[in-house]
A and B are shown apart, each in its own frame.
Chain A
Amino acid sequence: DAGVIQSPRHEVTEMGQEVTLRCKPISGHNSLFWYRQTMMRGLELLIYFNNNVPIDDSGMPEDRFSAKMPNASFSTLKIQPSEPRDSAVYFCASSGRTSLEQYFGPGTRLTVT
């Protein structure tokens, strides 16, 4: 079985540019999560989707961040405009209907210069 797929694996961009991170959850999973990992704050939940609907976006840091899930097999996290303090590793995770365990993708390492 393919796990959670994220792209790109690495992204280097200049301040002010738009960044789009992509995620394909595990087939059949109905919950999707976006996390951000930094040295200072560890792993933080940004947003949670259930059945493609955003349920909790309280972790999204500010209006520059937005996330969509147009269908059950695809989600995007967009940062516009990007800032150097957005540099982090962004993880996508998914979980199934009967399980609380979340399965993580390999992450996207974002560097904003």
Chain B
Amino acid sequence: DQQVKQNSPSLSVQEGRISILNCDYTNSMFDYFLWYKKYPAEGPTFLISISSIKDKNEDGRFTVFLNKSAKHLSLHIVPSQPGDSAVYFCAASAGYALNFGKGTSLLVTP
């Protein structure tokens, strides 16, 4: 049973525009959320995280928003760059274990 869902398998955005990647979760016990970025033939790389006591965390071009009542989080990338093209995984934790979504493949076109 998938507790973390990324319903969009792919997303295409023009360079310079905003990319918005979405993630939904079902377990209300999750209290920490992370986004990972993965290039082909590499392991996932930690990108940004947010605790459940916050609703926004920003790091440069990357911002994560958390809506606990809707059990929804999103990752905003502004402005998008071609180097951002990768698969993005959402993950949620209620302790040590990370529960991953299946990923969204982002393509940023010039």
Contacts and interface: CB of A to CB of B under 8 A. Distances in A.
What interface size band does chain B fall in? 20 to 34
Interface in A13-49: 31, 33, 42-43, 45, 48
B32 A106 contact: no
A75 to B, nearest CB: 15
A interface SS class: strand
Interface stretch (B21-29, B65-73, B92-100): B92-100
B96 A48 contact: yes
B97 A42 contact: no
Contact of B98 (A45, A106, A107): A45
Interface of A: 4, 31, 33, 42-43, 45, 48, 50, 55-56, 91, 93, 100-107
